[in-house]
Structure 1
Amino acid sequence: MDLDAFSTVHGPEWRRLEELVRRRRLDGAEADEMVRLYQAVATHLSTVRSAAPDPVTVARLSDLLARARTRIAGAHEPGWSDVTRFVAVTVPAALYRIRWWTLAVTLAFLAVAVVVGVRVATDPEALAAMGTPSEQEQYVRHAFASYYDPKLSFAAVVWTNNAWIAAQTIALGITGIGPVWVLLNNAVAIGGIGGMMAAHGELGLFLTLITPHGLLELTAIFVAGAAGLRIFWAWVSPGPRRRADALATEGRALFTVVVGLVGALALSGLVEGFVTGSSLPWWVKIVVGALALAVFLAYFLVLGRRAVRAGETGDLDADRAGAVLPTAG
């Protein structure tokens, strides 16, 4: 198909539709004309996509049709049904799709943390790198436990910090290095602190204070790392899709993970702020932390599995995602 000739023939219809879209008021005849032109231009766009997929023309007609659709049907205003669907379907689907990536990240993180912890606990040189003996004693006997201050402001600070880390981990996923760097630093830090506490005979205190909130908090960080790496992998191995399309699709779908993690990290922040440093028995604290983790796992494994089986991916629907050029192969 000769795109220039096609544009010359149908250009007046495109310009007329654009003129009608820009008008503030339309009479009955003009409204009918706009609907007719909308249908005609939609056919033109389909023809261009299949026969001569010029990006400029496709983008122009897609934008024109989107604006015309808004004039005809009215602007979309998200209602409670949209919010409910997003929380109960879209987010769990995105989380469920990266479950194996999350498991791999979890195992790698724990392996690094354990190796670092054992080395610090058993190697005097590695232990010395954690600080002077007096600094270690101060941290083990006082600073570590006193950090967990049971109040709302502390919970808010913890939640904000962890949510920001999760968002950065996903946003930097395209680099491939960002998520690995964040996860590695956290694994080394936690392993080092655990090893130092063990070397001073306080491994039990370490596990008692970090387990209640850490079960859910670290799981959320593992999920963020998995989402970031999955975005990177979509760029490395896009499959039959163009790299740009694969990256856009996975980026939209997996950045919804941030929304799910905001809720999970808010819950872990409340546990850290009000349970970890409280006077409750240690076993009660751990049970509370385990229940918080169980709620999150049930949320994305049960609801996510159901959503994925129904064909959901966590991506936006076709109207909100925008047009994609067809590719062969």
Structure 2
Amino acid sequence: MDLDAYVAEHGGEWRRLEDLSRRRRLSAAEADELVALYQRAATHLSLIRSRSPDPILVARLSRLVLSARNALTGAPAFSWAVVGRFFTRTFPLAVYRAWPWWCGTATVFSILTFGLMGYIAANPEVAGYFLSDADINAVVNSDFEGYYSEYMPQNSFLRVWTHNALLTGEVLASGVVFLPVVYLLFLNALNTGLLGGIMIAYGRGDVFFGLIIPHGLLELTAVFIGAGVGLRIGWSWVAPGPLRTRGRALAETALEGVLVALGLVGVLFVSGLLEGFVTPAPLPMIVKDFIGFVVWVAFLVYVFVLGRQAHVEGESTAVEGEIPMAALPAV
């Protein structure tokens, strides 16, 4: 193929296609012309790729064909209905489907955490293997309680929100290979058990639980959901089931994992607000704990009521406009 001659022959058509693609309004004749030129340009691109794959010309035509396609199909319009469906159907459904995984994860690591806490509370000398006496005194007398009022509420909120979102993202993503998520959760259980055991051993258990419960119930639940969903993704390629390939099973569960991760950003936003504004508030401990408990129960009701309802009705977690994986041929 003489590339220069080919460009000279069809360059006028490409320029015309580019001009039509940029227009906001087209007449009926121009719309028909746009369709015809788009089809021809797509053919030209295919021929050039197969016979004389000049990278610069291929890139130019690819951009032109994509622009023309967008002009023909139109960009998807933003819809609050899609947002509403995500929070009332898609997200709770994805979390509900994975409930055995994250409930199991929460149970195992809660038992581990409280076991460590009780052991250290009964044997306070064990804490000396991790912290010096000066550090233990600082934690008991000032550091633990002072941590929640160290920053302005809005700064504390943003700090813990981003930190917890990162931790949840790590446990969710690492679940695909199993061991990293177990390691991250064990570190979290060790730190919580150590601090709780020290505070209980020195008669400050009321302060520990009074400051942890307002935000910790929702925060830890979000982390456990991320870990459980991550482990579910990992298990999907180990045991895909009789009707799915490993690739399809991994793709389907990973897609649900992405949706869960997106929804958990909002959940952690709420837990961050609780930690930034409620935990350090000058309110009685019982009031702050009650607020945290009510928010946590409301989230669980939200997941199990709306999620189960969507599951029973046969709802899908597929994003609007996406071709469901089940409709695609298995490879």
Counterpart for residue 129 of structure 1: 129
Q: Tell me by how many angstroms 1:33 deviates.
A: 6.8
Matches within 5 A, 1:17-36: 23-24=17-18, 25=20, 27=30
Q: Tell me how many residue pairs correspond in the alignment.
A: 285
Distance 1:77 1:201, change over 3 A: same
The answer to whether 1:305 aligns with 2:308 is yes
Letter in 2 for 1:163: A
Check conservation: 2:94, 2:256, Cα contact below 8 A: yes
Aligned-partner SS, 2:211 = helix
Aligned to 1:46: none
What's the counterpart of residue 110 of structure 2? Answer: 110
Larger-gyration structure (1/2): 2
Given that 1:93 and 1:304 are in contact with CA atoms closer than 8 Å, whether structure 2 keeps it comes out as: yes
Name 1:224's counterpart in structure 2. Answer: 226
1:165 Cα deviation after fit: 0.9
Cα 1:124–1:282 change in 2 (3 A) is: closer
CA RMSD of aligned residues (A): 3.1
Residue identity opposite 2:318 in structure 1:
D
Deviations 1:78-106 (A, max 9, x none): 31122221222111111111112121011
When residues 85 and 273 of structure 1 are mapped into structure 2, their CA distance, relative to the original with a 3 A threshold, is: same
**Among residues 263, 267, 274, which one is paired with 1:264 in the alignment?**
267
Amino acid at match of 1:83: V
Alignment partners' CA distance in 2, 1:147 and 1:129: 23
Partner of 1:235: 237
Residue 125 of structure 1 deviates from its aligned partner by 4.6
Q: CA deviation at 1:23?
A: 3.8
5 Å-filtered alignment, 1:12-161, equals 23-24=17-18, 25=20, 27=30, 72-149=72-149, 151-161=153-163
User: Does 2:279 correspond to 1:276?
Assistant: yes
TM-score by length of 2: 0.77
The DSSP-based 3-state class of the residue aligned with 2:322 is helix
For 1:325 and 1:117, the matched residues in 2 are separated by: 50
The answer (yes or no) to whether the contact 1:253–1:316 under 8 Å persists in 2 is no
**1:273 positional shift:** 1.1
Secondary structure of 2:232's counterpart equals: helix
Indicate how the Cα distance of structure 1 residues 93 and 233 shifts in structure 2: closer, same or farther if over 3 A, else same: same
Out of 201, 204, 225, the residue aligned to residue 202 of structure 1 is 204
Deviations 1:41-95 (A, max 9, x none): xxxxxxxxxxxxxxxxxxxxxxxxx999755442222311222212221111111
CA contact (8 A) 1:252 1:316 kept: no
In structure 1, the gaps of 5 or more residues are 1-18, 38-65
Instruction: Supply the distance in 2 between the matched residues of 1:287 and 1:124 (Cα, whole angstroms).
Output: 30
Which of 164, 168, 187 is equivalent to 2:170? Answer: 168
CA distance in 1, matches of 2:93, 2:294: 22
Q: Does the aligned pair in 2 maintain the 1:102–1:225 contact within 8 Å?
A: yes
